[in-house]
Amino acid sequence: MITELGHFALILALAVALIQMVVPLVGAQKGWPGWMAVADPAATTQFILVAFSFGALMWAFVTDDFSLRLVVDNSHTLKPLLYKIAGTWGNHEGSMLLWVLILSLFGAMASVFGGNLPPRLRARVLAVQASIGVAFYIFILFTSNPFLRLAQPPLNGQGMNPLLQDPGLAFHPPFLYLGYVGLSMAFSFAVAALIEGRVDAAWARWVRPWTLAAWVFLTIGIALGSWWSYYVLGWGGFWFWDPVENASLMPWLFAAALLHSAIVVEKREALKSWTILLAILAFGFSLIGTFLVRSGVITSVHAFANDPRRGVFILVILGLFMGGALMLYAARAGAMEAKGVFSTVSRETALVLNNVLLAVSAFVVFIGTIWPLVAELAFNRKLSVGPPFFDLAFPPFLIALALIMPFGTLMPWKRGSLARTARPLLAGAVLALALGALAWAMQSGRSALGPVGLALGTWLVAGAAVDLMTRTGRGAVGNRLGRLMRLPRADWGRTTAHAGLGIAIFGICGVLAWQTEDIRIAKVGESFPVGAYTVTLNAVRKAPGPNYEATVADMTVTRAGATVAVLHPEKRFYPIAGMPTTNAAISRGVMRDIYLVVGDPQDNGGYAVRSYIKPFADWIWIGCLIMAAGGVLSLTDRRYRIAVGARRAATAQVAAE
Amino acid sequence: MKRLALILALLLAPLATQAVQPDEMLKDPGLEARARHISEGLRCLVCRNESIDDSDASLAHDLRVLVRQRLLAGDTDAQVVQYLVNRYGEFVLLKPTTGGANLILWSSGPVMLLFGLGLVGLYLRRRKGQGDAAAPLSAEDEARLAQILKE
């Protein structure tokens, strides 16, 4: 019964979205306030309906309703509750339902918090947002309906892929979707502004928090996924340049570009049409990502939806929205008149360079991702584009970006001087080069990756520190400290995020350059050296789990006689899925992770054992978290909170009359 | 979502083993290091975008052994790779060649960067021109300004 209600609620949501798409748009065009006002209750109703529908599906998972095909395919009574809940979105149909849930959530939030938006703009934004909803409701209802029943329900389900039964992964999709779909708000604002034919600082002030929030969620989502693969896949890889990963990296890069260019629109009223284009592209690449993942069009992408109908459907959605938005852009972008004038050496130019580098790097990832498809269709060549290509083609842009970043943050608006900007950064540059040189001298004969990473990381962190200090002006230390604490949150956010990037870059380079690996057959009781450590395999025993059987190894890691860690890597076997998984044991540390994996028993006794020392590995995810924290800090800046306050003041006035 | 897909497909190949096995490794550390380096650039043909060095599939195991056999037979790195390309086609290369149409792929980054910088250059020059043109006020604007100031 609840299932049918959920199904029905989803169909109702489609009907409401259709109304929300048409009525406010017409109202905005004709200037009828009543028609425009339809958008607000419609957006809220839509969200409530989809939330109910999603809740119904989750209920089916939690109560093991095996009359639902989706539950049978993806769940099992023995599965822990957390993964029954996460199982709701751990499959194609459910994840698309999560997609529209978040879409309608953003729509409802724009309606609730959008009180101080001009009514016409708000009506149009919500109408565009609803049109995206319509497309995806139809997609779900006609190609990926999660509420299909089985005529003869089985006694139990087929279980969930054991590798997905992990807390890191349970929350990875919701964060990614919050990011992907958050960019739909930027898109809706961009299209609404194009219909309106007007973009001003207020518009940018509205778009920026949505973009920033989407970017923060994407950052966390990507970091979670990478953190998960680091400890689950059994050898500590954290990024594979897989098309599915690239699908999330491209929107992230575009979102980063967009939130920087929106600053220029907000503060200087320049780069308007470029910002609009970026907003369209950022969401476009979210859709492309969805398409790549869902359609299985790229041979390497064996996504769970290998149904060509779905692929074609998403391609149509992509074509309609991108084609429509870009045509509108071509027709209207000329009307976006820029106001702020700036010279070649200025913060505006630095932000333009940032945008060029981010956009080009995203395009490189895009071309690398679709090239196997293009080569096969256009040149009849079946080839692969893998990590070696991306490792060469992508980092130069990131390095260039990191190099100019501190200059950009110190550069004044309108007109600056390179020499005056560079002066306070000199100490940071010297420190970065000195540390890089020191690392180079100490590592004797390894690749330059480590020292370069250290130098870049230091440069970014030092640049962020200098950025903060110069904003406190001159004078006594006490005064400057006081001013430091009173700096706008946006300043703190910017410097935090930039420093976080530096830390992440250092972590990535450090672990890639300086890791130690040891693969061997170890007998029980045997000790062997790994880097500066000695690893001993003490015992191997069997241990039962809730829905798996585990082989657990007891291993001790010592350094110069002192015990550093006692670790228990596991090999699990999930009988329901008939699938083994490897659970590495990791001793986390600021300077290094010790990463142990136990493998299969060997014919002549002993076990295959892999040991890794991974220096600075955790800095990658700490850096990502710091970046995300920077985004959150910036999001709580006074100018966004004031916008909400202003609305309250306005309503109070009305009441007083 | 991306990981789900990655893993689901990863699991199409049986997970019986884990990447490079100790019994596959060569005694000579120099040769083994070369084998690892070569393996990282070769695709496990039945997997998704995975190198044979990382893959758990049995085909990847066979290819790893094959690479090591060729090295023991005295092949250079390039010869080993060529041997595999002859056998499996360029699909096996994770790093695409620079020949033919692949030039577009390899040059796309630099070309787009130049294109982007060129656009920025044009834009800045145009803006500058506009800025200069905007500097002296027209007579009409001058009159309006005077009127506004009077008010």
pLDDT tens by residue, A261-273: 999 888 888 888 8
A303 lies within 8 A of chain B by CB: yes
B3, A387: Cβ pair inside 8 Å?
Answer: no
pLDDT score at A228: 86
B93, A384: Cβ pair inside 8 Å?
Answer: yes
pLDDT band at A619 (very low <50, low <70, confident <90, very high): very high
Q: Are A25 and A44 in contact (CB under 8 A)?
A: no
B109, A396: Cβ pair inside 8 Å?
Answer: yes
pLDDT score at A653: 41
Q: Among A336, A381, A518, A571, pick the best mutation site for testing chain B contact (most B Cβ within 10 A).
A: A381
Dig out the tokens for B121 from the structure: 């250059």
Residue with the larger pLDDT of the pair B97 and A342 = B97
A382, B91: Cβ pair inside 8 Å?
Answer: yes
Distance CA A101, CA A173 (A): 13
pLDDT band at A257 (very low <50, low <70, confident <90, very high): very high
B4, A304: Cβ pair inside 8 Å?
Answer: yes
- Considering only CB atoms, which chain B residues are within 8 Å of A386? 41, 43, 49, 51, 94-95
Q: Among A165, A228, A242, pick the best mutation site for testing chain B contact (most B Cβ within 10 A).
A: A242
pLDDT score at A616: 93
pLDDT score at A478: 81
B3, A241: Cβ pair inside 8 Å?
Answer: no
Which residue reads 């350094």 in tokens? A559
pLDDT digits over A550-562, tens only?
999 999 999 988 9
Residue of B nearest to A607 (CA): B22
A378, B101: Cβ pair inside 8 Å?
Answer: yes
pLDDT beyond 60 at A574 = yes
- Considering only CB atoms, which chain B residues are within 8 Å of A387? 40, 51, 94
pLDDT score at B3: 52
The answer to which of A161-170, A198-207, B36-45 has the lowest mean pLDDT is: A161-170
Residue of B nearest to A389 (CA): B95
Distance CA A528, CA A520 (A): 9
Residue with the larger pLDDT of the pair B126 and B78 = B78
Nearest Cα of chain A lies from the Cα of B43 at a distance, in angstroms, of: 8
Domain-wise residue ranges, chain B: 2-92, 108-150
Which residue reads 């692929």 in tokens? A311
pLDDT band at A212 (very low <50, low <70, confident <90, very high): very high
pLDDT score at A4: 92
pLDDT band at A144 (very low <50, low <70, confident <90, very high): confident
pLDDT beyond 90 at A633 = yes
Of A164, A368, A382, the CB nearest to B4: A164
**What is the maximal distance between C-alpha atoms in chain B?**
95
Q: Are A523 and A529 in contact (CB under 8 A)?
A: no
pLDDT score at B15: 40
pLDDT score at B2: 47
pLDDT score at A41: 92
pLDDT band at B147 (very low <50, low <70, confident <90, very high): confident
CB-neighbour burial class of residue B24 (10 A; exposed 0-12, middle 13-18, buried 19+): middle
B7, A242: Cβ pair inside 8 Å?
Answer: no
A389, B7: Cβ pair inside 8 Å?
Answer: no
pLDDT digits over A426-483, tens only?
999 999 999 999 988 888 767 889 999 999 999 999 999 999 988 887 778 888 888 8
Residue of B nearest to A521 (CA): B22
Highest mean pLDDT among A298-307, A598-607, B36-45: B36-45
- Considering only CB atoms, which chain A residues are within 8 Å of B15? 579-581
- Considering only CB atoms, which chain A residues are within 8 Å of B89? 382
pLDDT score at A6: 94
Q: Are B51 and B94 in contact (CB under 8 A)?
A: yes
Q: What is the dihedral of CA A249, A254, A256, A258, to 10 degrees?
A: -160
Of B17, B90, B108, the CB nearest to A600: B17
Q: What is the mean pLDDT of chain A?
A: 87
φ and ψ at residue A63, rounded to 5 degrees: -90, 10
pLDDT score at A327: 92
The mean pLDDT of A162-173, rounded to a whole number, is 79
A344 lies within 8 A of chain B by CB: yes
Residue of A nearest to B94 (CA): A386
- Considering only CB atoms, which chain A residues are within 8 Å of B50? 240
pLDDT score at A77: 86
A360, B113: Cβ pair inside 8 Å?
Answer: yes
Task: Write the single-letter amino acid at B6.
Answer: L
pLDDT digits over A353-372, tens only?
999 999 999 999 999 998 98
The DSSP secondary-structure symbol of B137 reads: P
Which fold, B2-92? Answer: Helicase, Ruva Protein; domain 3 (1.10.8)
B100, A379: Cβ pair inside 8 Å?
Answer: yes
A273 lies within 8 A of chain B by CB: no
- Considering only CB atoms, which chain A residues are within 8 Å of B128? 343-344
The H or E element containing residue A566 is strand A562-567
pLDDT beyond 60 at A527 = yes
Highest mean pLDDT among A17-21, A288-292, A414-418, B87-91: A17-21
The span from the first CA to the last CA of chain A, in angstroms, equals 50
Q: What is the dihedral of CA A53, A59, A64, A67, to 10 degrees?
A: -30
A383, B96: Cβ pair inside 8 Å?
Answer: yes
